[in-house]
Chains A and B, each alone.
Chain A
Amino acid sequence: AQSVSQHNHHVILSEAASLELGCNYSYGGTVNLFWYVQYPGQHLQLLLKYFSGDPLVKGIKGFEAEFIKSKFSFNLRKPSVQWSDTAEYFCAVIEGSQGNLIFGKGTKLSVKP
């Protein structure tokens, strides 16, 4: 079955530090990839998505992610984090263009001011 692995459970950074959150998926065929963010006490919001084309995807709030097919990875990056980026980040994947989102366990990001 399709699975998504987020290796970091909790990441703590100081403001202005660079961020990279890992995401690996198990399916070898066509996939659609997503990163969602959940701010404390709120619902999930879409940060960015990839389904074809340029493997470097830019999302909202300065986030970007790179799809590397050979590594089955879709890591999330941000050059300089802010305190307001404190949240939980979820990687998710769908096989093909139909079906349901499979979520990773999430990575909690804490940014110290």
Chain B
Amino acid sequence: DAGVIQSPRHEVTEMGQEVTLRCKPISGHDYLFWYRQTMMRGLELLIYFNNNVPIDDSGMPEDRFSAKMPNASFSTLKIQPSEPRDSAVYFCATTGGTANYGYTFGSGTRLTVV
């Protein structure tokens, strides 16, 4: 199993541009989570899906952020327009069944908005 696959690994973009982060979950995992990690705020949950349906998006900071999961094997997190304060590492994590199994994290996307 290749694990949770995120792309790109690094993204540098100019303020105002649209950014799309991608995540491919482990096959069979029906929960998918998007986290943001910064020095100041640590790990923050942005949104999570169960069976492709968004369950809790209360952590999405603003309307500039949106996430989709069109099928069981793909999710995107989009920021439009991007701002310098969005610079962070964005992690995708997935789990199957209940939370007892623990989450498997992807390698993350390091986003820098200049």
- Give the B-binding residues of A (Cβ under 8 A): 32, 34, 36, 42-46, 49, 51, 90, 94, 97-106
Contact = CB atoms under 8 A, between A and B. Distances in A.
A42 B9 CA distance: 11
Given A43-B91, A43-B106, A43-B107, A103 B43 contact: yes
Given A102-B45, A103-B43, 10 more contacts: A36-B105, A43-B108, A44-B93, A49-B100, A94-B99, A97-B100, A98-B99, A100-B33, A101-B33, A103-B42
Given A100-B56, A106-B43, A46 B100 contact: no
Given A42-B107, A43-B91, A100-B48, A34 B102 contact: yes
Contacts of B98: 97-98
Contacts of B45: 100-102
Nearest to B100: A51
A36 B103 CA distance: 10
Nearest to B107: A43
Contacts of B108: 43
A105 B40 CA distance: 9
B91 A44 contact: yes
A80 to B, nearest CB: 25
Contacts of B100: 32, 49, 51, 97
A27 B45 CA distance: 18
B105 A44 contact: yes
Nearest to A96: B99
A32 B31 CA distance: 17
